[in-house]
Amino acid sequence: KAFLTTRLGDIGFLLGILEAPMLAPLLDKATGLRKDAEAQAQRGDPDAAVKTLEDSTRELVRAVRAGGIYIPG
């Protein structure tokens, strides 16, 4: 139970950080890239979709790191 409470607290903390106004441009870019990836997949270009989705994930990692949370890699 303590582990679950700790994990839920971590998630709440992370969500609070991601709502910070300074991170909005990074999150907006990640969201846009995600939509682009979905469109590429719909058009039948899975290679481009995967690359674009990886770019989106990179932007999310930047946002989390900018919020002060360490993510290795």
Q: pTM here? A: 0.71
> Does residue 22 or residue 12 have the better pLDDT?
22
Q: Is the pLDDT of residue 6 over 70?
A: no
Please name the amino acid found at residue 32. Answer: G
Which of 19-23, 38-42, 43-47 has the least mean pLDDT? 19-23
Is residue 59 pLDDT above 80, yes or no? yes
Inform me whether the pLDDT recorded for 21 exceeds 70: yes
Q: What is the rounded CA–CA span in Å between residue 45 and residue 73?
A: 28
